[in-house]
Copies of this chain bind each other. A is one copy, B any other.
């Protein structure tokens, strides 16, 4: 019951970048070292974030990565969507069926509440919220 490694890495990478919004470009070497994420895996993930238009990359010497928009405009859910790790509308807590409300077990209604809270949290929390709150992640 937790996010994939890849999503976790992606969130931390982008949160770090949001935190260092003074630097126009941040490179993979720095990110890998500071966040303790394998360099090659990090660049692989970053390339996906570039393709998803959450990040802009500059190749070549003095290159690096930067957020494609304001930190407050990049929601956690946008990141999760890139890696298909977001909570779907009809997703069953047990992963058994898809909730249609027609025929339900006792857990169905109980699941609604935490599910809605999680969805809300992911959709409304931006990188700005996560970063720069005194605690580096």
Which A residues form the contact surface with B (CB < 8 A)? 1-3, 5, 8, 11-12, 15, 76, 85-87, 91-97, 103-107, 110-111, 113-115, 117-118, 121, 125, 129-131, 133-135, 137
Contact = CB atoms under 8 A, between A and B. Distances in A.
Contacts of A103: 134-135
B1 A3 contact: yes
B8 A96 contact: yes
5 contacts: A2-B91, A93-B118, A105-B137, A107-B125, A117-B117
Nearest to A91: B2
A2 B125 CA distance: 20
Nearest to A76: B107
